Amino acid sequence: MLLRIAADSVLLLHLAFILFVLLGGAMTIWLRWIPFIHLPAAVWGFFVELTGRVCPLTYLENYFRIKAGQSGYTESFIEHYLLDIIYPSGLTREIQLALAGVVIVVNIAIYGWLFFRRCVKNV
């Protein structure tokens, strides 16, 4: 039971990391130190998508699932609603490259907006 909870927790952490990579720059509005954490995370997310690598969180989740003996189990709420978001079944190399582009475009837009906002505020 604890190993299944650990696997589900890793899955939630993975989703939170993906959302942070994509939108974490917006937190700079409230926390000025966020770019020091967000930019390396965004670079990592871009790198993983660009190179087609597997995130270490995927290996950790799979480890816990195997140790929990979860082959042939019924889906939990987390697996039913989040698994396909994090691990889409039709994920191709082209989609991974598009996702890498989305990470870059969204983050450039967020940081560009923040930069513009600060420049206007200082005028």
Mean pLDDT of 100-109: 92
Mean pLDDT of 30-55: 90
Q: What are phi and psi of 15, to 5 degrees?
A: -65, -45
pLDDT of 123 over the 70 cut = no
CA distance 85 to 65: 18
Mean pLDDT of 90-100: 85
Q: Which residues contact 49 (CB under 8 A, 6 or more apart)?
A: 96, 97, 99, 100, 103
CA distance 23 to 107: 7
pLDDT of 86 over the 80 cut = no
Domain count, the chain: 1
CA distance 41 to 20: 8
Q: How confident is the model at residue 54 (pLDDT cuts 50, 70, 90)?
A: confident
Mean pLDDT computed over every residue of the chain: 85
Q: How confident is the model at residue 73 (pLDDT cuts 50, 70, 90)?
A: very low
Percent of the chain with pLDDT strictly greater than 70: 90
Distance from CA of residue 39 to its chain's centroid? 13
**By residue range, what is the domain housing residue 65?**
2-122
